[in-house]
Chain A
Amino acid sequence: MATPGLRAEQYLSPETLAQLAPFELRAKMVADGVMNGMHQSPLQGMAVEFAAHRQYTAGDSIRHLDWKVFGRSDKLYVKEYRQETNLDVMILVDGSASMSFGTLGVKKGWGGTDATRRRGAWTKFDHATASAAALAFLCLSQRDRVGVSVGADGLRGTVRKSATRDQWRSIVRCLSSEPVEARFSPAACINQLLAQTSHRTLFVILSDFLGDPEGLRSALARLRHRGHDAMLLAMLDHRELTLDLDVEAPFVGLEGEDALDVDTRTIRKAYLEELQRHLQLIDRQSRAFGYDMQAFDTHESVGPVLTALLSRREGMMGGGLR
């Protein structure tokens, strides 16, 4: 738990998280922060059976009549129950080369993934894994089944859903991988995951979504078709969001794109417009399927954004990740 009197956000900044080497500790910190940040609408009772009363209509089973209400009010009300099953959560982390981008400097001796150490910066992959670990920790702490996959052009590592005690270690081991030199193909990854999924599952996809939107749309359509739920967490570096560079230099793509001579001063406006357009497209696509999408600035703390996302989702779905 967070130290009383301290705001959880303080512990959730990327700088802080980067210094927390073990994933577990990092995830606990984020989870505690999320819990503290949501104290107005705590997650207790996420698994209660009763859902609501409604008036009896012909054809309803009298097994669910609330007789106590009938005794008091002489009216027939039927109790409605929610199916009391565990939530299945599948977290898919984009491990493509573009996720190794980061501009927030970290110091020697800090924790983080191999990507962090290699690049000397807090990468989008770091932010994605930190967020994924926090979500997984939340789920496990609620005894929900959670699995994690790291994928690029296909799944590179998968931990199947489980709520066992050993699941956390498996998840951490999986997330400790580093981005590969490949492009992210959400359709391919989702296809592979769907092949392993039988129950209704919440898919949490953490990626920069800088690839082809059509591929993402196809993947989301398949998820919708199977009746799964999804959350899209777009990890973007602060510099990607602002292009706060005044240089004229060749830009080299991390995923093998050709070099491009760019004067950032002259194209900044157009770039930002393109970025906005792209993010809005992703958002529209996700909303079209009833899914939620949230952009993360990797220079910002994980907690507040995650809290905001979960609160919004609770409002939409009636509680927590459900």
Chain B
Amino acid sequence: MTFISPWLAVGGAAAMALPILIHLFLRRRQKPIEWAAMELLRRAVQQSQRARRVERWIMLVLRCLVLLLVGLAIARPATVTAISMNQPIVLAVVLDNSVASRAAASSTMPGQTAFEAARTACIESIRALPSGSVVHVFTTSGKIEHTKEAVPPDRAVTMLGALEPTYEPSRVHQAVDRADDALRRMTMPGRIVLASSFSRGAIDTEAQVLPSTKATLEIRDVGSDDTGTTAIVSMVQRTLGPQSQGSITVDVAVARPSHDQVRRSIPVTVTDVLTDRAATTDATFIEGSQQAVATVTLAVDPGRTEHAWMATIPSDRQPADDLRTTTISTVSANPVLVVDRERLDIDEGSTAQWIERALEPVAGMGLAHRRMDPSDVRAGALKGSTSIIICRPELLDTAAWAECTATCESGALVVVVPPTDETFVEWQVPCAALLGPSVTIRRDQVNHDPPQRLRPQQPTSPITQLIAAELTELVAPIEVNRSVVIEGPSTTVSPILVMDDGKPMMVLATRGRGVVMMFATAPVPSWSTLATKPIFVPLVQETIRQGEVLLDAGSSITIGLGRLLAGTTELRPIRGSASQDASLTVDPAGAIVGDEAKPSIMQAITTQNTSTSSSRSESLVALNVDPAACDPQRNDPARLAAWINQTVTVPASAVTTINSAQSSTSTSVWLLVSAALVILAETLLGRTFSVPEPKTT
């Protein structure tokens, strides 16, 4: 016999002393009473006090007993019963196959995950069943009920062997509930075996309530005592120009669960899932900090334009589900289209030449690009282009502008650079129209003497987010001699770079599903020193990369971190078996519809939109499971004990058999009924013992 709340039982036992103390206290407080008829009193005492004293002690004992019984009832007794080895029973095994069960099991089961250890524990319980017993199999995640009818033990073992841990949160409440229902249908005595790591991910002691069950509940705890698990919070790729050619630098932010005062380093591995290239670096937590960043540099194949990154913490204690896989932007399969006319400009080079040099600083490394003459921009000519840089806007006619606008609206990035040559063509009007309504571009160029510089503090922009830390330093040497003035409401155009006089040097606007960016100055020496300064290469590359990310049909989708396509997307795993084909539904707000978190690197096959000229054939997505569902930390023992409605400490790798909540409830009810009966008996006895009101003589 044990108690759900033994302290209450102790309290009940201690409360027994209360009537005695009250009795003694009241007795001590009584003052002597003067009395005349002492002889009569003495005779009465001789007659009855002895018997009355016995009765009084009986009453005192009954009162103490009431308190004890109430205390015991509140303490909820539970009987520790030995597993019967003779009587056939119905065993319902509830196996924790939630995402948290992918964590390592306790140190007594080295090399095993919690799932494997729990499965082993379930099989042990099944093997120990007396002959004639039958088994139900339940899991806490995914498909909960695996047996419609009770099956023989051997078959149950086979079924358990075929089970795999899921990537879904634990639904232990429903699982035990179902097991309970299944046992109720049976006539044989039932027992439930709940095998779990009892980690916070497996059992949420705050939210889940263990259902009442008439069966005996056997707890098999296979969890580890490790609480130092670290999780990956985010992963960001640096793209900083030529130095990133041939290698990629990725910042992986990791967090640990508490502000430990311990300096600790944990290894972080970043893997290119397409090539399996990996690199590992330590992330070091300083004392008292909860977050650390590991900067991992990874060699990449310059020939490849697609990459998918996965960050992992290669720790034994790390649950597999917590490999916070995140896809960084992938390079578009389509080359950047530079619209300019071929010409020989010996003095300073054309805008297109400077930009192409920035796109591909070293031959074969960087962003692929293709030159197109403005006269070739006709309807359908831009189909398949993701990024278009218009260097000679004055050469585009109305049809060409219409094609650019259509392409942009269907999901393309259009970058416009002002013409460097004097022209009488009013390119400003269609260009302003492309940027958006109420946007104007002044016809006259503005000459700056002395040259304008850029403000040290530049506005925050998604285009410059990755170089934001060095932006002040990078913009400092830029001098602008000549520029055009772009004006428009802040709701339409947002500045990316701003000059000292407050005029924008680069603006961003959205158009349909596309993005339009425009430089106010040309990257040629006669207009500005932009093209010759260190900022130019990263700025041009980030303009293309981040611009594409901003597109609705961008080439990178990062679930949980980035924007998602609305609608249903077919998913195809990059790694793993083909049977994992799945789909993903995203609502217009960008949230995943339903419980469809699928933890693997998947290739998303986006729907081809044949009505427009755009085409986005493939994207890479990384799908994370709910971080809350994969918390491998141990539950607080007290909370866990309260959760399972008993205070028997659940030791690691131990088998504890306790009566279920309802069993203990029934015992408690019986105790309360007993207490009520004792109170009744006391009342009746008290009435019997009491002297009726005397009548006046």
Contacts and interface: CB of A to CB of B under 8 A. Distances in A.
A267 B36 contact: no
B30 A248 contact: yes
A236 B697 contact: yes
Interface in A239-267: 240-245, 247-255, 257, 259-260, 262-263, 265-267
A250 B33 contact: yes
B697 A269 contact: no
A267 B48 contact: yes
A276 interface: yes
Interface residues of B, number: 34
Contact of B35 (A242, A251, A275): A251
Nearest to B52: A266
A237 interface: yes
Interface in B32-63: 32-45, 47-49, 52-53, 55-56
Contacts of A249: 30-33
In this complex, the member of A241, A255, A269 whose beta carbon has the largest number of chain B beta carbons within 10 angstroms is A269
Contact of B42 (A260, A272, A278): A260
A236 B689 CA distance: 27
Contact of B697 (A245, A250, A295): A295
A131 interface: no
A53 interface: no
Given A101-B34, A249-B31, A251-B35, A271 B696 contact: no
B487 to A, nearest CB: 98
Nearest to A300: B696
A243 to B, nearest CB: 6
A23 to B, nearest CB: 24
Interface string A72-105: 0000000000000000000000000011010000
A298 to B, nearest CB: 11
Contacts of B30: 247-250
A274 interface: yes
A252 B33 contact: yes
A208 interface: yes
Contacts of B263: none
A255 B42 CA distance: 14
A322 interface: no
Interface in B426-440: none
A254 B692 CA distance: 27
A20 interface: no
Interface in B189-229: none
Contact of A241 (B27, B55, B697): B697
Contact of A265 (B33, B691, B696): B691
Contact of A266 (B33, B37, B53, B696): B53
Interface in A172-201: none
A181 to B, nearest CB: 13
Contacts of A297: 696-697
B697 A251 contact: no
B694 A268 contact: yes
A238 interface: yes
Contacts of B36: 98-99, 101, 124, 208, 210, 237, 240, 253-255
B72 to A, nearest CB: 30
Contacts of B423: none
B35 A267 contact: no
B690 interface: yes
B26 interface: yes
B686 to A, nearest CB: 9
B40 A210 contact: yes
A242 to B, nearest CB: 4
Given A101-B35, A247-B33, A260 B41 contact: yes
A269 to B, nearest CB: 4
A259 to B, nearest CB: 6
Interface in A86-134: 98-99, 101, 124
A275 B32 contact: no
Interface in B668-697: 689-697
B44 A267 contact: yes
Contacts of B42: 257, 260
B697 A271 contact: no
A279 interface: yes
A58 interface: no
A208 B37 CA distance: 9
Interface string B78-97: 00000000000000000000
B40 A271 contact: yes
A6 interface: no
A51 interface: no
Contacts of A243: 694
A98 B34 CA distance: 10
Interface in B526-579: none
Contacts of A248: 26-27, 30
Contacts of A273: 44
A267 B52 contact: yes
Contacts of A295: 697
A48 interface: no
Contacts of B38: 251, 253-255, 257, 260
B697 A252 contact: no
In this complex, the member of B30, B44, B48, B52 whose beta carbon has the largest number of chain A beta carbons within 10 angstroms is B44
B40 to A, nearest CB: 5
Contacts of B53: 263, 266
A318 to B, nearest CB: 29
Interface of A: 98-99, 101, 124, 208, 210, 236-238, 240-245, 247-255, 257, 259-260, 262-263, 265-276, 278-279, 295, 297
Q: List 7 tightest A-B contacts by C-beta distance, closest first.
A: A266-B52, A249-B30, A253-B38, A271-B44, A268-B691, A270-B44, A101-B36
16 contacts: A101-B34, A208-B36, A240-B37, A244-B693, A244-B694, A249-B30, A257-B38, A257-B42, A267-B41, A267-B48, A267-B52, A269-B48, A271-B41, A274-B47, A275-B697, A297-B697
Interface of B: 26-27, 30-45, 47-49, 52-53, 55-56, 689-697
Given A251-B32, A267-B52, 17 more contacts: A101-B34, A101-B36, A248-B27, A249-B31, A249-B32, A251-B38, A252-B35, A253-B36, A254-B34, A265-B690, A266-B52, A269-B692, A270-B45, A271-B37, A271-B44, A276-B697, A278-B40
